[in-house]
């Protein structure tokens, strides 16, 4: 039974690492596009950059099994939710894609934080 729980935890962590990495990449791409859109996209740009940095760092923390990854997972989920909500307000393809990619990151980070 303990082995199955460990395997499930490893699988969930691996999935979260993948989701965070994909979110970081989508947020970087969205931030780059927002930088060319003007001042009205400033909040979106900042949130995307925050999430890109946080999600990348969180993926590294999980990969090395840092004792702080659970606390960080909650922060990543909160930031990703704010970013998703901001991106969802914009009609640009890069924002809509970013919002979609953030959803699994949010879900897996919430699971890791629990």
User: 13-50, pLDDT tens digit by residue?
Assistant: 899 999 999 999 999 999 999 999 889 999 999 999 99
Place of tokens 């890109």: 52
Contact 51, 34 (CB under 8 A): no
Sequence ranges of the domains in the chain: 2-113
Could you give the count of Cα atoms lying within 13 Å of 62 in the half-sphere of its Cβ?
29
Report the predicted TM-score, pTM, of the whole model to 2 decimal places: 0.90
Place of tokens 């925050």: 50
Contact 109, 76 (CB under 8 A): yes
In the numeric block, which tokens belong to residue 6? 């460990």
Four-way CATH pick for 2-113: 2.30.29.30, 3.40.50.2020, 1.20.1270.360, 3.40.50.720: 1.20.1270.360
User: 67-91, pLDDT tens digit by residue?
Assistant: 988 889 999 999 999 999 999 999 9
């Amino acid at each position: 039974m303990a082995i199955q729980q460990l395997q499930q935890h490893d699988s969930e962590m691996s999935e979260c690492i993948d989701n965070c990495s994909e979110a970081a990449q989508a947020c970087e791409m969205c931030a780059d596009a927002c930088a060319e859109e003007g001042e009205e996209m400033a909040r979106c740009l900042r949130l995307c950059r925050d999430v890109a940095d946080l999600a990348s760092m969180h993926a590294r923390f999980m990969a090395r099994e840092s004792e702080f990854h659970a606390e960080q997972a909650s922060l990543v989920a909160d930031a990703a939710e704010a970013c998703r909500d901001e991106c969802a307000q914009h009609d640009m393809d890069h924002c809509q894609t970013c919002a979609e990619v953030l959803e699994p990151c949010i879900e897996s980070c919430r699971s890791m934080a629990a």
